[in-house]
Homo-oligomer: A and B are copies of this chain.
Amino acid sequence: MPKQLFHHLNKFISVSEDEFYNMLPYFEQVCLKKKEILVSAGSLCTHHHFVLEGCLHLYFITDKGVERTVQFAIENWWMTDNLAFHNQTITDFSIQAVEPTKLLSISYEKQEQLLQEFPQLEKYLRSIYQISYGASLVKMRYLLDFSKEEMYFHFTEQFPEFAQRVPQYLIASFLGLTPEYVSEIRAKKRS
């Protein structure tokens, strides 16, 4: 199973099997049930998580008590509150499993040690972040450009497997819509 990280590393850098086996002890494997909370808002942001199987979402609760998803992570995605992780501070976000989920998790200290022992991983993480940051600028564009209805159909057309897999109310939350609004525009499209 952790072999998945090995393959993912080798998409960006060159890591031998031997090196990979020496990297693995820095990680802990974590199994979550569906809807299990991995990180609670208000706690210290200690870990960076790589999804082996399943799906996580990063969310916050608005003043009005509504849950709003900011990011999803499926297989081969990394997830944490990156700013709180970088600064080793309290996070305002929670992370929850959308499905039964298996992770490789690494603490801030262990990640620092791992990067010191295997500096070639800096390039891997730089590439991952470059892509994630780039994608977030594109999402920002959609948030500023598209109507709510366009957002929903653009998202479900661009990521059909994802839209099938994740509950509608979470997709609505990710796009800043209410579940009722999503039901309405889906019904309108069908008719």
Contact = CB atoms under 8 A, between A and B. Distances in A.
B82 A141 contact: no
Chain A, interface size category, equals 35 or more
A119 B119 CA distance: 8
Interface string A134-146: 1111111101110
Q: How many copies does the complex hold?
A: 2
A119 to B, nearest CB: 7
Given A122-B122, A122-B126, A68 B145 contact: yes
Contacts of A133: 82, 129, 132-133, 136
Nearest to A86: B130
Given A122-B119, A129-B130, A82 B139 contact: no
A125 interface: yes
A136 B63 CA distance: 20
A93 B136 CA distance: 13
A25 B62 CA distance: 49
A145 B173 CA distance: 11
Given A70-B137, A137-B70, A139-B140, A127 B62 contact: no
Given A62-B145, A82-B134, A119-B119, 20 more contacts: A60-B145, A62-B144, A63-B145, A70-B137, A70-B140, A70-B141, A70-B144, A71-B140, A82-B137, A83-B134, A83-B138, A86-B127, A86-B131, A93-B137, A125-B126, A126-B129, A129-B130, A136-B136, A140-B140, A143-B143
